[in-house]
Amino acid sequence: MRSACKPGSSRSTGASLRRWVLGIAAAMLLPFGTTIAGTGAPAAAAFDPAAFDFWVDSGMGPIKTRVLRAADGNTHRVVYALDGLRAQETLNGWELETDIPAALAGANINVVMPVGGQSSFYADWTAPSEFFGIPAGTGGNSGSGALNALSGGPGKSYRYQWETFLTENLRWALRDRLGFNPNRNGVFGLSMGGSAALALAAYHPDQFSFAGSFSGYLNNSAPGMREAIRTAMLEAGGYNVDSMAPPWSPQWFRMDPLVFAPNLISNQTRLWIAAASGRPTEADPPTIDTLNGMELEALALTNTRSFQARMDSLGGSNVVYSFPPYGIHAWNNWADEARRMIPDMSAHIG
């Protein structure tokens, strides 16, 4: 910011910065794994009787994954579908909200849908998620029910170890028990799952030859982003971002797609990077939720364009960018994007 400002402009600048940070926080509070009213999945979604539960032990205890086999019975082509910030403990959002798992299986791809991991960013955390230093399950000295709610639940009494689970425990269990190919898999996700998909591919190139990010927030170290993520994680389950990674530590920068972008180029990972315009489609009703979804997607688009600029500066040519002229931050947009992605992913896995 230049120093030659008009009198009173510092107050205006501060207010603008606060609005910007709050705007990003709002963008991360609402969309991750949620359904915008009126833009949910087709009636056939919510539970696929052809999918089955696949339990695997981990450092977090037994973790459920939903698996849908490829239509042709092959075991060579495998994709992991990652959920959003509000991931539930019952079903993965892709099965709960869309028919994309069936579309992938119909394209002769085995679908792996990890269940749970709310607010985890699918990362290995440095500590269990304590709420302002309150040990998990205690609720502090006040006995507050709200504090008890914030300090209990998955990742509170134990340390999240989702990267290890996906790249070690689950990977080899799928090979040993189902015969799935452990190499040259695909991975994609929305919002939190989008940045996590890129991180998994960046650090585990033998496992993932393809990664897709839909409406991702791909510069976690930008001004205001850490506090926006803090706010979002507190709202989505009461998780503490400091337990995930200390401020501006190597672990934090390791999670930032703009920082690890060179890995994606040197690994020659095929990428599908998408964000829509924020303009509603005919399927999006005139509601306040649609308005919120428009604003959220516009922010995701700005973030994704920044990642595109970073990749372009590095000479990255291994990326397909998708910027559809219509689409808000909602499951119908992500389902449409997944359908566009499937042929390209199919050609780069297995």
Q: How many C-beta atoms lie closer than 10 Å to residue 168's C-beta?
A: 16
User: Is 297 an annotated catalytic residue?
Assistant: yes
In the set 119, 120, 151, 191, the catalytic residue is 191
User: Is 191 an annotated catalytic residue?
Assistant: yes
Distances 81 to 166, 181, 187, 279 between C-alpha atoms, Å:
11, 16, 6, 26
In the set 297, 322, 337, 348, the catalytic residue is 297
Distances 248 to 219, 220, 222, 244 between C-alpha atoms, Å:
13, 10, 11, 12
In the set 195, 329, 337, 348, the catalytic residue is 329
Nearest to 87 by CA among 103, 62, 59, 66: 66
Nearest to 328 by CA among 270, 276, 282, 289: 276
User: Is 329 an annotated catalytic residue?
Assistant: yes
Distances 206 to 108, 117, 181, 336 between C-alpha atoms, Å:
21, 23, 11, 28
Cα gap 192→321, rounded to integer Å: 18
Q: How many C-beta atoms lie closer than 10 Å to residue 107's C-beta?
A: 18
Strands 63-68 and 52-56: antiparallel
Strands 208-214 and 185-190: parallel
The residues that are catalytic are 191, 297, 329
